[in-house]
Amino acid sequence: MPTPTSIYQLKITLNDSKPPIWRRILVPDSISLHQLHTILQIVMGWEGYHLHQFIIDDEYYGDPEDDEMGDMKNEKRYRLNQFVRRKGFKFIYEYDFGDSWEHIILVEAILPIQKGAQYPICLEGKRACPPEDVGGVWGYEEFLEVISNPKHPEHEEMLEWVGEDFDPEFFDIEDANLGLRQFASRARMAK
């Protein structure tokens, strides 16, 4: 990764989630879109089972091996600082084209690098990431209704699938930051 010149504070919000599911992170401006994809998987809590893409200024970026149409640009060749010019810039990260988890990424601030600070880091977030393959935002709403109603015929089955301890209100920032530290360590070792 090239040496960063600044840090971006990004707010990632899962589109159409009510109440909102979001994360706030700090990332070096020089990361590739591919690295940002990995960071988003970690902080949101996704497992990386599905295809993804970024939509920036009406252009599509992702893994060209997953591109059936042949119009997707290789996310490994593009760095975040090639797009972000100002605070307030927005773009989209879509994960799992079947469930269509669309994330709105907002550049909240462009900050100086703090000497000795570790990046990327998650500053805060709200609510748990929906389980993989739950059926998108609308499927997740139905899922939450089922697990909150012990009389629902699918209640036990859904709890068994997701785990008895699933709490839709809980975001584990310590786990997210542990994953980010491991990611940063692997990135340093790959240099």
The CATH number for 23's domain is 3.10.290.30
What does the pLDDT read at residue 64? 81
The answer to whether residue 97 is domain-embedded is yes
The answer to whether residue 100 is domain-embedded is yes
Per the structure, the count of domains in the chain is 2
What does the pLDDT read at residue 191? 59
Residues 109, 77, single domain; the answer is: yes
Residues 44, 135, single domain; the answer is: no
Q: For residues 20 and 128, is the Cβ–Cβ distance under 8 A?
A: no
Residues 140, 55, single domain; the answer is: no
What does the pLDDT read at residue 32? 96
Residues 123, 152, single domain; the answer is: no
Low-confidence ranges of the chain (pLDDT < 50): none
- Domain limits at 164? 130-170
What does the pLDDT read at residue 59? 95
Residues 155, 180, single domain; the answer is: no
Sort strands 52-56 and 59-62 into parallel, antiparallel or unpaired.
Answer: antiparallel
The answer to whether residue 87 is domain-embedded is yes
Residues 156, 177, single domain; the answer is: no
Residues 104, 166, single domain; the answer is: no
pTM of model > 0.85: yes
What does the pLDDT read at residue 36? 98
